[in-house]
Structure 1
């Protein structure tokens, strides 16, 4: 079972060298509370919690949180960037081609194709980013593949 992200708190921000502002706490709480959120999703949650916040302020806070490793930014093809608080475990994602739902999947194990590059070009590899695309069970049940 994957580790849960740490709770959003002023101390957590300070431990990562960030000033604990109301905006940063609210943005981190929003990301922690809902995995794979877009910046607009985060802004909506933050506005409900603390009132007015600009879109640029949300992007600035998200960028700072990504930079210090408290938040991970993923960029699925054909989708806006998403943010999650599950970091440091090299997990991957399943994305539905129809509805766009994204779910976490733990790192693939064993001797699967493409887990190790055919030529590492001298790189010391410390992370793999894998995205599995398909159709979720709900979409398959609603409209069978044709």
Structure 2
């Protein structure tokens, strides 16, 4: 990934207060799911004392992250996943009948509060340099995202 241009996707984790915790860049043509592990690996929330927290209570994601590997990863770590199942996956499972397995748990009420990532990414996208992606390298573009994220944290 040599350029930060128009084909760059921003993946991020945000807390409940719409503040960014992790930014990860990926090429625009890649699938969203493989980047999920990079986002989770970069997650560090400072505590008053002790090591930073790396395991959230709940992970809310959109349908692009609905993969068995992601659900298994979260389950092994004791994290509750709130990820809707796409219609095609639901149809495949129903076609298998009783062998299709049980549908994954989904908490609709919790998911309705899941627009925190969208509300978190909107203020940095108002910056001209981030919105138009003038930077040539992904590293410089990522630095601009971190600076914008630090302004969000200082506004609290």
TM-score by length of 2: 0.27
Q: Which one scores higher on RCO, CA 8 angstroms, separation ≥ 6?
A: 2
**Higher relative helix content:** 2
Tell me the TM-score normalized by structure 1: 0.28
